Chains A and B, each alone.
Chain A
Amino acid sequence: MEQPGRLHPITIAIRDIAAIFGRMGFGIAYGPELEDEHHNFTALNVPADHPARDMQDTFWVRDPERGKSPSGDSGDRMKTKEGEERKLLRTHTSPMQIRWMEKHGAPTRIIVPGKVFRNEATDATHEAQFYQLEGLAVDTNVTLAHLKGTLDRFCKEYFGADTKIRLRPSYFPFTEPSVEVDVWFPAQQKWLEVMGAGMVHPKVLQNAGVDAAKYQGFAFGLGVERFAMIKYGVPDIRLFHSGDIRFNYAFQEQPTANSQQTT
């Protein structure tokens, strides 16, 4: 018999997550890892030279013509050419909110899994690259209560029926109101912060060409590794993208029926 291969745990996690959101009517989409400043920041209501930029340390692409190393995040100093957007590695999957709605408008309901990059020192809970999964639901009547209900059901299906969520105030430039989402794990008697979310900022809808007077919606962004780390008890995020097969084999694996699968 042929030896069985192993999928990467991130693949397994994304399939699990996509299936749950699929059952709630979410489609799936992909966006570019190499982004431009407009989609990654400006259109998401994160202006140049704003302290909100510090919330996501960015890898900038060197302009091959000038070859100089820009520092800081100033928009004006680093324009590559007149009218050309600076390139960067996307710091989040949120740029797909803009790209998707530019193309498909509203109403909409999608998730976007993908690799994102942060220029920050790595440790057991921080990696310079990790997978994020964006969620976006826009319609005439989508509310914060729907965000809460959707994420509560998602966490119950992903982590277990005895978990529950709570929302705390937060700030992201691209949502208003913004919240942090905590999940309660009864076994550990502990709340864990798992993701940021909020109601899509009207400027973001406008920037994507959606009528903000008619439509509103919610968005969230979760770290796929973080979810897998919590679910399976993985102690160090750096194990995921090390290319070490011992990581794949550190889990007992059972195929499950995929008949319920909708995404």
Chain B
Amino acid sequence: MKISRAWLQKYFDEPLPDANALADALTFHAFEIEEIAGDMMDVKVLPNRAADCLCHRGIAKELSAILNLPLKSDPLRAPLPMMDIVSPYLRVEIENPKKCLRYMGAVVKGVKVGPSPTWLKEALEAVNQRSINNIVDAANYVMLDIGQPLHTFDAKNLSSINIRDAKEGEKMMILSGEIYTVPKGTLLIADGNTGEAIGIAGIKGGKRVEVTGATTDLIIESANFDSTAIRRTAQALKLSTDASQRFQNRPPPELAAYGMRDVLALIGQIADGEVACIVDEYPTRAPAPAAVSVPLAKINSVLGADFSKEEVADVFQRLGLPAEVKGDTFTVTPPFERADLSIPEDLAEEAGRILGYDRVSAALLPASDVGRSTSYMAEQAKYRGIEKVKDWLTERGFTEISTQSFAATGDIILANPLDKAKPALRANLDENMKEAMARATYVAPLVLAPNEKPKLFEVGIVFKKEGEALEIKTSEPVSGLPEIQEDAEYKPMRYKLDAYRPFSIYPFIVRDISFWVHSSDGETPFGPDVGKETMEGLIREHAGPLLTRLNLLDRYEKEGRISYAFRLVFQSMDRTLTDAEVNDTMRIVSMALAQIGTVR
């Protein structure tokens, strides 16, 4: 949710700190901040608070509690005007009150559609919203301000609204001009007289009733739709909108009246017009959130803290949560927008986060041998048994690999694979082993000595019709390979790893060089008995930084001379080497080695 500091300021008399300070306040007491850009903060509101905090009012309320700054006024606490003006201009009919919990429709006559005033344009642009016209902008503004999605229709030829399920194969053109065939049962807003669909409820309005420069009369919708219905439709149509994101998070139906109050006031202020009627179809009034009781001791025992009664009472007061205190027990009656508060632990969280988790001191668990009780030993022994086989294999020169669980074929097929070429779960480790072994054979000169060959193993879960199973796969048969068996006593080998050293993804070039050195006549610049280290040093010095691996291949003595053979592997971190440049390097290496022997 993009939040503008200037917009928040509207809620406070005192000047707010800068966006960075606000971001810190939110980060440590409420929500993560995904981005700060100038005065705009992108606040990551998670599902538990999406009903009340996907709007500036919700964030302002949080900041008010965190910073202990009073709100100038809270639109959700201000009284509602009379909004039940019956008239012949509009009829609203809800077919299924389980899917449409509330529908408020207002008719506004004689509006002047035009550009929005500068303040409104700026407010919307500050949170990356595009200004369209004063009517659409007013509806957007109120949604971003207090969280109630709103929609405006051109009222020409529209006097009756019917909220109904879509019939088989029903199509409609949305505002963007795209035509959607909606699944049967999708909740639609329809023209009650003609039956024509004019909007996908809670998601997007229809083109036919778009508010344009020619519009003079409006119907304004402030409604509440069932979150599941909206969520399923948005998923099925792959059409996620500001409205659908809010409706799927169960905003309170009470909020619709506040949205209607505010949008009518704003339209009156910036587009003239006269409210001709407001219809409020609210079949079953939503129950107010139930009171929740929590003793101070419970709060402190969940948090492991030592908060005082006064501190906790102050938290509830700052959050605007009416709390009755009897003895040491708080009974909080959440306001309609805080239905997320339903158990004592929820209240412990409010106290903990507002007072700050930095005030919860770290404590170690008391000693306990529950983790070593007999009933746990079987699982423990399973872990140790698996690790024992891994150690057994590495001792015999096998290197452990880990591969993807997805496969081209198998017994278990995914309904929604990420890679369409691998829609199954692996039924064995064979394919991946073959692939890994081919690659290992190719890269072996980079990581293994010339006389070593790669040997691999994988221990992983495979998926068969009968169920999943742990399997071991080795790249070659191993005599005496133990089965994985429980072993309660085995202590897995432990290794210390140094920092990761990046490896090149570019091809490498292998060159061998061999030469004779005299073992006894001392006619080299390095004296007699030139050692392997000296030769390696000489090779490295002249081969330069592209030499990534150097191994002694072979050494033997014959008739007073010693033959040495080295293998050199060349590779660049950032490009493919050419034979020509490696040949040049090898010439330089040969010339250097000629000082101590005869290159063959």
Please give the residue numbers on chain A whose beta carbons come within 8 Å of chain B beta carbons, in ascending order.
2-12, 15-16, 18-19, 22, 24-30, 32-34, 49-52, 54-55, 59-64, 68-74, 87, 89, 104, 107-110, 115, 117, 119-122, 128-129, 137, 139, 141-146, 148-150, 152-153, 166-171, 173, 176-180, 199, 201-202, 216, 232-235, 240-258, 261, 263
Contacts and interface: CB of A to CB of B under 8 A. Distances in A.
B213 to A, nearest CB: 37
B390 A29 contact: no
Nearest to B451: A3
A241 B401 CA distance: 8
Nearest 7 pairs of A and B residues by beta carbon: A145-B304, A143-B304, A177-B349, A243-B436, A5-B394, A27-B371, A171-B46
A244 B439 contact: yes
B47 A55 contact: yes
A69 B416 contact: yes
Contacts of A9: 497
6 contacts: A5-B393, A119-B416, A166-B358, A171-B46, A232-B497, A246-B447
Size bin of chain B's contact surface: 35 or more
A19 B384 CA distance: 12
A234 B369 CA distance: 36
Contacts of B301: 141, 143, 216
Contacts of B49: 171
B352 A177 contact: yes
Given A6-B394, A49-B227, A148-B360, A139 B368 contact: yes
B180 interface: no
A246 B399 contact: no
B572 interface: no
Interface stretch (B108-116, B231-239, B521-529): B231-239
Q: B interface, by DSSP: helix, strand, loop or mixed?
A: mixed
Interface string B162-185: 000000000000000000000000
Interface of B: 27-32, 46-50, 227-228, 231-232, 235-236, 248-249, 301-305, 343, 345-346, 348-349, 352-353, 357-358, 360-365, 367-373, 375-376, 379-380, 382-383, 387, 390-391, 393-406, 412-418, 425, 432, 435-436, 439-440, 443, 446-449, 452, 454-458, 460-461, 463, 467-468, 491-503
Q: Which residue, of B357, B371, B414, B446, has the highest number of chain A Cβ atoms within 10 A?
A: B371
A70 B415 contact: yes
A157 B372 CA distance: 21
Given A149-B364, A171-B47, 16 more contacts: A2-B397, A4-B397, A5-B457, A11-B390, A25-B367, A34-B467, A51-B47, A115-B405, A115-B461, A119-B418, A121-B418, A148-B304, A180-B32, A216-B301, A252-B498, A255-B493
A27 B380 contact: yes
Nearest to A152: B362
Contacts of B449: 3
Contacts of B417: 59
Given A149-B365, A199-B345, A246-B503, A12 B370 contact: no
Contact of A143 (B236, B302, B495, B497): B302
Contacts of B401: 8, 243-245, 248
Contacts of B439: 243-245
Nearest to B31: A169
B497 A12 contact: yes
Given A4-B394, A49-B231, A180-B32, A240 B363 contact: no
A143 B415 CA distance: 41
Contacts of A30: 379, 382-383
Contact of B370 (A16, A109, A128): A109
A22 B491 CA distance: 12
Contacts of A59: 414-418
A233 B499 contact: yes
A179 B32 CA distance: 11
A98 to B, nearest CB: 16
A61 B232 contact: no
A16 B540 CA distance: 37
A56 B463 CA distance: 22
Nearest to B458: A243
Contact of B303 (A29, A62, A145, A166): A145
B364 A153 contact: yes
Given A34-B463, A168-B357, A253-B495, A24 B394 contact: no
